[in-house]
Amino acid sequence: MVSNKYYALVAGIGTGTGRAVALKFSKEYPVVLLSRRTESFKDVVVYINKNGGKAIGIAADATDEASLAKALQTAEQELLGLQLVAAIYNVRPNSRPSRRPFLDLNIEDLDISLDGNVRGLFYFAQASIPKLLNTVETKPEHSPTFILTGATASIRGSKLWSVIAAGKSGARSLVQSLAREFGEQGVHVGHAIIDGSIDEPEAKYADGNEATPDGKISPYGIAEAYWSLHIQHKSAWTHEIDLRPFNEKF
Tens of each residue's pLDDT in the chain, 250 residues: 789 999 999 999 999 999 999 999 999 999 999 999 999 999 999 999 999 999 999 999 999 999 999 999 999 999 999 999 999 999 988 766 568 899 999 999 999 999 999 999 999 999 999 999 999 999 999 999 999 999 999 999 999 999 999 999 999 999 999 999 999 999 999 999 999 889 887 655 555 566 667 788 999 999 999 999 999 999 999 999 999 998 888 8
Q: Are 239 and 191 in contact (CB under 8 A)?
A: yes
Sequence-distant (≥ 6) Cβ neighbours of residue 51 within 8 angstroms: none
Give the tens place of pLDDT for each residue, 178-219. 999 999 999 999 999 999 889 887 655 555 566 667 788 999
What 3-state class would DSSP assign to 102?
Answer: helix
pLDDT at 210: 63
Q: Would you call 80 exposed, middle or buried from its count of C-beta atoms within 10 A (0-12, 13-18, 19+)? A: exposed
| Vertex 40 angle, CA 211 and 176, to 5° | 75
pLDDT at 201: 73
Q: Domain 6-243 is of which CATH architecture?
A: 3-Layer(aba) Sandwich (3.40)
pLDDT at 80: 96
pLDDT at 114: 96
Q: Are 199 and 216 in contact (CB under 8 A)?
A: yes
pLDDT at 207: 55
Report DSSP letters for 152-192, one per residue. GGGT---TT-HHHHHHHHHHHHHHHHHHHHHGGGT-EEEEE
Which amino acid does the sequence have at 162? S
Picking from 192, 191, 190, 194, the residue whose alpha carbon sits closest to that of residue 234 is 190
Containing 130, the helix (H) or strand (E) segment is helix 120-136
pLDDT at 1: 79
Picking from 241, 89, 96, the residue whose alpha carbon sits closest to that of residue 174 is 89
C-alpha count within 13 angstroms, C-beta hemisphere, residue 220:
2
What 3-state class would DSSP assign to 60?
Answer: coil
- How does the average pLDDT of the chain come out, rounded? 94
